[in-house]
Structure 1
């Protein structure tokens, strides 16, 4: 594997007010866009009953809705590869703005969709198509955002920069959780089915267009500008260069992305719904605890980034992976016994899900600047397409097994993969600066 030269990243200098402004605007825009992508998960049970034939059982309706949710992950590589190609050839900022626009439009349209009771089978078909467009948008957004912030800040603050962006994305999850919790607390089940779910998606569309406006104030990254001025941009197909010259970096990036998917999809997005169906937790209690976990996730991302800059990517990955597996097991064992410690254990699991703030630093360090967007996009989106698409369906099924502990078994397995990746990085310090 080739060494990633430090000159590919920004110089070693103090963090400036301009850097802080860039990080804040990027994180805020990412939060608003990610809300659009994840709000679907929080209303999976409602959507399952509205967009599939009447009389479908709760469990099957939820599984079908999670299936459509998973389709968004399958579409991610398409948007990711196309946007990354142009991001490596014409600039990071343009793709950064396009992705959020592509997310806002389908989210708004989902809020206006007729249901199965109105147009029959066309309802789930249209919902699936709009979910695909959302997947295309997020496929370009997340890798592009990490590259954008990493190439704006001093290289010894890349952990914090990537983590702050990840924190922004998780704030989007927190907003979604709070919206779901508030609506379940103040609206009856009948009102939720009639119009409540639409409010959440229309609100997301408005958020998305506001994020487009925010990104007008961002500038192109210094790293890309320098590459363009020196005529060092790749003349080959960036994705081909990644596959030809950087397969070890691709493999490691895909593995750590799997850990990220388990933390976000299972622990944060699916657990509030699984609580209700597998453990019969009341919706208001499930979403309230989920909101606390989402807030803890935001804090965990920032702490993970600081740990990367202080102790390196490998040690940070090791700590977070072990904590993720142990805390998730503790949460599900408590749920099985009645959930007495739910409001303590779920935030703890959310804190260790902050591994999501560590993973991007590994991805950024795995590829040189000229093909960095394409390298991260290819690795991250293909891994997320496989793991993210399979996880909701597999975990939804596992929730019916092992006395409800199936999801915890899955997270524990993936956490061990995270530990193995950390050990690999510790033995490969000359390549990854672990």
Structure 2
């Protein structure tokens, strides 16, 4: 096999930190756009849906948030194929524009009171476009960084891409809080909520400027020069039995549990505080924002640690810890809220972010190393976005529905606990990879590493 990817860059390639900065900045902005609605889902239930059934309105509002996740796998196939055939850089530029425009348009929507059902229908359509865009963004950014990174530091450098979802969510919360605190509740509800969405116009131009400075990844340039690009990435990724086996393993042995752990620790906890325990909007969001500041750097720590001890150990340990500790954590959160001890509430959110870091930090390198370069964008993106977008993205809706149906405030935890445990077992029992994974520059005729 040829030299490792990290050594393949040419003299005119940007430095690795330039690659990380430009890729991460754009991806943060895309996640900011995607999660703005999530941070306001409970609030939006009063703006875009009939107010006479508040519980139903909240569930429908959360379901609207979920629509963006349902189309992420379609975006993964569409943009993954483009990324494998046309290039990583051009593809994630396109997804950035789609995301920025659709987000800004949400800021221009009329409310239900003004436009009736036109408002929620249009909101759903824009969420679908956002889902398509994010379906192509993550894979491109993670692969682009990995294909520039030194082989022994892929976990570390790709972990910065892993922080972008949390950072984007954090930025969304901070912008929303800043607008609400500066404008006051009445003005924020009337028109101030539009500002975070309209800000996307500015952010997307900034990100495009950064990304236009990047060249294509050295691995893709080499494949294009040699004429070894995949002709039909979708067919080769999912039509070949061996590669399909890796795709299935990536889904059920990594990303399904990853999605549930991520959304439990960062979204469900917010909905649990606001919707179940009736903590006020500002207090719940401040607790989460502080926890995110403390917990996000741990993603990079775990990514770097995976370069030393292996990706699998960290990921499986994080999944099992989440499955074992979610119930006692949420029971303690309930007691802490009753006692008005929001320092403890914040600490318990941080504990969940430790699980997120252990599972998510090594994940980009884990997935990139699993697939050959000709099929990497397509093969990686689909299981990632089914796992995080469907298994994870539907987690708040499923869990809140279980709480509403049973009357048990902890019933919603059954879903993430089960998925995390099953994913850990599948990862341990059905790993099809060789013991020493690598990121090859070339592959055999069927698209697998030599």
Q: TM-score, normalised by structure 1?
A: 0.91
Select 1:39's aligned residue among 29, 32, 36. 36
Structure 1 stretch displaced more, 373-382 or 403-412: 403-412
Q: Residue in 2 aligned with 1:22? A: 19
Cα distance in structure 2, aligned partners of 1:319 and 1:80: 28
SS of the residue corresponding to residue 49 of structure 1 reads coil
Partner residue of 2:233 out of 229, 238, 254? 238
Deviates more, 1:102-111 or 1:381-390: 381-390
Answering whether residue 419 of structure 2 is matched by residue 414 of structure 1, we say yes
TM-superposition CA deviations, 1:178-219 (whole Å, max 9, x none): 223334444543333211211121123322232122111111
Q: 2:93 aligns with which of 92, 97, 109?
A: 97
Match of 1:194 in 2: 190
Q: Which residue in 2 is equivalent to 1:352? A: 355
Equivalent residue number for residue 366 of structure 1? 370
CA distance in 1, matches of 2:104, 2:407: 39
Q: 2:52 and 2:186 mapped to 1: Cα distance?
A: 15
Residue 65 of structure 1: CA displacement?
0.9
Q: Which residue matches 2:326?
A: 328
1:259 aligns with 2:235: no
Deviation at 1:389, TM superposition (A): 4.9
Q: 1:292 is matched with which residue? A: 290
Residue 403 of structure 1 aligns to a residue in which SS? Answer: coil
Deviations 1:403-429 (A, max 9, x none): 321333322222213422442477854
Q: Distance in 2 between matches of 1:110 and 1:315?
A: 41
- Give the paired residue count: 425
* Deviations 1:126-156 (CA, angstroms, capped at 9, x unpaired): 0011111101110100111111111111122
SS in 2 for 1:367: coil
- 1:266–1:395 contact (8 Å) kept in structure 2: no
2:214 paired residue among 213, 218, 224: 218
Runs (5+) with no aligned partner, structure 2? 439-450
Give the structure 2 partner of residue 49 of structure 1. Answer: 46
- In the alignment, is the contact (CA less than 8 A) between 2:249 and 2:427 conserved in 1? no
Distance in 2 between the 1:220 and 1:12 partners? Answer: 13
Q: How does 1:139-218 map to 2 (within 5 A)?
A: 139-218=135-214
Is the partner of 1:360 in helix, strand or coil?
helix
Q: CA deviation at 1:390?
A: 3.0
Answer yes or no: is the 8 Å Cα contact 1:297–1:352 preserved in 2.
Answer: no
291-300 or 274-283: which moved more? 291-300
Contact 2:95 2:134 in 1 (8 A): yes
From 266, 269, 272, give the equivalent of 2:270.
272
What do you get for the CA RMSD once the two structures are aligned?
2.3
Report how far residue 35 of structure 1 moved: 0.2
Q: Is 1:398 matched with 2:398? A: no
Query: Residues 27 and 6 from structure 1, CA distance in 2 versus in 1: closer, same or farther, beyond 3 angstroms?
Result: farther
Please identify which structure carries the higher helix content: 1
User: Aligned pair in 2 of structure 1 residues 410, 12: CA closer, same or farther (>3 Å)?
Assistant: farther
What secondary structure sits across from 1:404 in the alignment? coil
2:80 to 77, 81, 84: 84
C-alpha contact (below 8 Å) 1:184/1:283 kept by paired residues: no
Shift of residue 388 of structure 1?
Answer: 4.0
Give the equivalent residue in structure 2 for 1:281.
Answer: 279
Q: Relative to 1, partners in 2 of residues 1:172 and 1:160: Cα closer, same or farther, differing over 3 Å?
A: same
State which of 383, 386, 402 in structure 2 corresponds to 1:382.
Answer: 386
Deviation of 1:320 (Å)? 1.9
**Residue-by-residue CA offset, 1:305-344 (whole Å, 9 max, x unaligned):** 1121111111111222233334533431112223332021
Q: Which runs of 5+ in 1 are unaligned?
A: none
- Conserved in 1, the CA contact under 8 Å of 2:233 and 2:375? yes
Q: CA deviation at 1:29?
A: 1.4
Separation (CA, whole Å) in 2 of partners of 1:420 and 1:180: 39
What do the CA deviations read for 1:325-367 (whole angstroms, capped 9, x no partner)? 3453343111222333202111121232122222222211221
Indicate how the Cα distance of structure 1 residues 93 and 180 shifts in structure 2: closer, same or farther if over 3 A, else same: same
Q: Does the aligned pair in 2 maintain the 1:33–1:207 contact within 8 Å? A: no
TM-score by length of 2: 0.88
1:72-114 CA-partner distances (Å, limit 9, x unpaired): 1112122221211121112111001111111000111000100
Determine helix, strand or coil for the equivalent of 2:68. Answer: helix
